Chains A and B, each alone.
Chain A
Amino acid sequence: MSEVLKQLYSDKYRGPAWLEAFNQQARSQCSELVLPGRKTENWKYTSLRALEMEQYQPLAEKPALVDHDLAHLSIPQLDSIDLVFINGYFEAALSSDLSMLPQGVEICLFSEASTTQQTIILQKLGGAIEQNKHLFACLNSAQLSDGLFVNIGKNCVLPKPLQIVHINTGIDQAYAVNQRLLLVAEQNSEATVVERFLTDDDGPAVFTNGVSEFYVEADARLSHYRLNMEQEEALHIGNISALMQRNAQLNSFSLGLGGKLKRLDLTVEYRGEGAEAKLNGVYLTQNQQHIDYHTCIEHAVAHCTTSEVFRGIVADSSKAVFNGRIHIHRDAQKTLAQLSNKNLLTSNKAEVDTKPELEIYADDVQCAHGATVAQLDDNSMHYLRTRGVSEAEARVMLSFAFINELINDIKLSAIADYLRPELVNMFSTDDGLKRHLL
């Protein structure tokens, strides 16, 4: 194990006894893996140096809850079941009452799981991720002491979106958060899950290692929102993996604001025919920030459909990395797959490394992919100005428009309405330039 890994790895985590074998297996797997460096293909453009700058140690115990004003962090129009985690620890007082859940819907912490639930957790946990390819997910497993388990029973519908909010606050030390979600959407069930990652105004020195695993069984429909909106001091390495069975549907939206180090791996693997995934994403980076999205779609079986659209706006001296891999296996005939990644550079010091990666071994498939890096369109700019709109306002309107197309496409209107002003505000501090968008 390298020095950094040793540092990130801690025995202080004490999980329940029933998880020990799971931890142990991941631990031995971890010891065989090396920390990715420049030569590691999947990490070529993203440096882990920021991890070495502080001692990101897991908190040995739950820190006392400072009386933070969290009201402004809520999404006004979203009527949801809320689960709030602060600095990695569940806060029941800030969360919804789970005793009212309808029959067939189970939501619990691993630490409070019944023996039946423990059995399911152990059966599924880690199964949607290739841990030997994802060191940080492996690390997450190795020191996993608690997590969140969600099970939507056969034919059940989660009555409201489940909103899981992770808030990291500034405390007097650097710390690490090991976050884990395991969700099983059983046959013909339906659920919407919103995962939000936030920091309070203190700009905490925190490293979040987040892993979310989704089992979308036959005919089940899952909508997933992954909103990484932490301040730039917060480091985040996240892994979202979905296993899709026959006719399963996944509708996923990602939002990433940049940070010192932010890396998200999204993997979708089709295990049953007729499954569909729609993955949209928006990322915005400023200052010296960095963000890296690696998506990987495994078309292992025939007749599955993927549509993936990611857009990024890269400003100042920031950097964005996008890697969209679509792997169409030999038997995956009649695959439909579309991938588009467009980037808007608003500064000549900004940088984008984008790579669509199509690997096709089946012959009867329809695939399209495209990646672009460009500046604001001159024609649009001119058109707005011929109507009297100032260049500065036109710039704000057009930049926002670039991502607004994807915001408009969000199914949950409360989320779109919440994000729109949040994002518009990133394009200017001058209210006059934003007044027609707010």
Chain B
Amino acid sequence: MLSINNLHAKIDDKLILKELNLQVNAGEVHAIMGPNGSGKSTTGHVLSGRDGYEVVEGSVSFLGKNLLEMDTEERAREGLFLAFQYPVEIPGVSNMEFMKAAVDAVREHRGQEAIDAVSFLKKTREFCKAVNLDQNFLKRGVNEGFSGGEKKRNEILQMMLLEPKLCILDETDSGLDIDALQVVAEGVNSLRSPERSFLIVTHYQRLLDYIEPDFVHVLAGGKIVKSGDKSLALELEEKGYGWIEASLSGAA
């Protein structure tokens, strides 16, 4: 599904990702944890093709294709989805218009039949219910005036509509109360399938209680410094990141 090899990336001449390696196979759920500023969001941005993030070394292949050669929209149409840590507010574009534009673009690319307005509305309303977001949010500007939790649920709603192959969730659980957290987890779990993979960036074990990861990685200083199974998350919860950093500097 996704293969990141020796990735080095910088912002404004500052090297953020240093020798990042990660393999994600179809159907797997990977959790990425790590201290603030370690490069988790940067990884998501680089994978989404954001301007200003320059890959200086390494390669990324996605479903057998060179991801780094694709435009942002092409990546999305091929099945990469990034749930933003800070979803963007776009007043003046309604949530509904926005999602219809997205779904139409993605379906067209995948050779699927265009979805008519009525079926789309029906489907969207159904998903609204699933993520516990009032239907009025469809008429409002994209994320405009949404609370933090509403924004995150709106990201999950989009994910459900776009049916991606690889879902990257960047701290979707941060700032959520326990109910909202369950909504997010249920959204993710409803999409789990042998063809779909997840990369879940989180600081907390509690999300992983609901979404059981196959692998847990610790990202520090722009690279993965430790990988393990779900028990690693429990260990991190207990001990923090200090012991990893200590063991790393001890080894150096």
Q: Give the B-binding residues of A (Cβ under 8 A).
A: 378-380, 382-391, 393, 397-398, 400-405, 408, 435-437
Contact = CB atoms under 8 A, between A and B. Distances in A.
A436 B117 CA distance: 11
A242 to B, nearest CB: 28
Interface size class of B (residues with CB under 8 A): 20 to 34
Contacts of A398: 90, 92-93
A400 B92 contact: yes
A178 to B, nearest CB: 38
27 contacts: A378-B51, A380-B88, A382-B48, A383-B84, A384-B98, A384-B101, A384-B102, A386-B81, A387-B76, A387-B101, A387-B158, A387-B162, A388-B76, A388-B77, A389-B102, A391-B73, A393-B101, A393-B105, A397-B98, A400-B92, A401-B90, A401-B93, A401-B141, A403-B92, A405-B92, A436-B100, A436-B104
Contact of B48 (A380, A386, A435): A386
Contact of B162 (A383, A388, A397, A436): A388
Given A384-B98, A436-B101, A391 B88 contact: no
Given A378-B51, A382-B51, A389 B101 contact: yes
Interface string B30-61: 00000000000000000011110000000000
A385 B90 contact: no
Interface in B133-191: 141-142, 158, 162
Contacts of A391: 71, 73
Contacts of B97: 397, 436-437
A220 B49 CA distance: 56
3 A-B pairs with the lowest CB-CB distances in the bound complex, closest first: A401-B92, A387-B102, A388-B76
A408 B139 CA distance: 11
A385 B82 CA distance: 11
A405 B101 CA distance: 19
Contacts of A380: 88, 90
B87 interface: yes
Contacts of A382: 48, 50-51, 72, 88
B106 interface: yes
Contacts of B71: 385, 391
Nearest to B52: A378
Contacts of A397: 93, 97-98, 101
Contacts of B73: 385-386, 388-391
Nearest to B108: A388
A420 B116 CA distance: 22
Nearest to A391: B73
B129 interface: no
Contacts of B51: 378, 382
Contacts of A389: 73, 98, 101-102, 105
B240 interface: no
Question: Which residue among B48, B71, B93, B142 has the maximum number of chain A CB atoms within 10 Å of its CB?
Answer: B93
B228 interface: no
B88 A387 contact: no
Interface string B174-214: 00000000000000000000000000000000000000000
Contacts of B84: 383, 386
A405 B76 contact: no
